[in-house]
Structures are given as C-alpha cells and as structure tokens.
C-alpha cells in the first residue's frame, strides 16, 4: 500500500510541476502555489515532500488497523487526484467537462 502511495505521489508531483509550466492549467492548492511563488519549481517539490512527510508521519503513529486504513484512504484520494491531473494535462480540459459532454 505504501508503494502505491509513493508511486501515485510521484505522478502527482510531476503533474503539479507541469501545472506551472503549461499555459492551460493552474495549480489550485494554495500551499503549493505559495511555495512556488517563494522558491519556484523547487517549492513545488518541497510542498510535495511535505505532504508525503505528513502522510508517513500520521501513518507511523496510528495503531495497526488504522494505519493501513489511513494509507488506503490517502491512496484512494491520490488515485482521484492523479486521474484528474493526467486527464487535464493530456486533454486540456477538466474531467468533469468530459462527463457532461
């Protein structure tokens, strides 16, 4: 489960970085935008490392059944984020507009 988290995290990191490089998409996370404004593209990586650190720390301190459930929930969220980001970057439209067409 943790491997899935880190794989999805890496894909999301690349997508978030691309949001600052392509003209047709914007990053919506205010923390990532703030760190980008302060440090440029390394700020995007810093934000992503911070998010991963928070998830790993929380998962470490939770007891055995809860830590797996927590990581599974985070992986499920990252699946949604990655699918959304990849569709947005590839098709240049938000996924919700593809559903309503």
Query: pLDDT by residue (tens digit) across 12-36?
Result: 899 999 999 998 888 888 999 999 9
Task: Give the domain ranges of the chain.
Answer: 2-100
| Predicted local distance difference test score (pLDDT) of residue 5 | 84
Report in angstroms the alpha-carbon separations of 24 from 32, 73, 78: 18, 30, 22
- Give CA–CA dist 70/90, Å, rounded: 30
CA-closest candidate to residue 21, choices 8, 40, 7: 40
C-alpha span between 19 and 14 (Å, rounded)? 9
Radius of gyration of the chain (CA): 15
Q: Is 94 helix (H, G, I), strand (E, B) or coil?
A: coil
Q: What is the pLDDT of residue 47?
A: 94
pLDDT digit string (tens) for 54-95? 988 998 898 888 888 998 999 999 898 888 888 888 888 877
pTM of the model: 0.80
- The C-alpha angle with vertex 79 and arms to 88 and 54, in degrees rounded to 5, equals 110
């Amino acid at each position: 489960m943790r491997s899935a988290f880190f794989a999805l995290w890496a894909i999301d990191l690349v997508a978030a970085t691309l949001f600052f490089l392509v003209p047709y998409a914007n990053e919506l996370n205010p923390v990532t935008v703030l760190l980008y404004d302060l440090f440029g593209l390394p700020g995007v990586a810093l934000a992503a490392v911070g998010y991963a650190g928070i998830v790993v720390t929380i998962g470490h301190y939770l007891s055995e059944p809860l830590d797996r459930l927590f990581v599974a929930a985070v992986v499920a969220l990252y699946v949604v984020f990655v699918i959304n980001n990849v569709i947005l970057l590839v098709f240049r439209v938000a996924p919700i507009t593809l559903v309503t067409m």
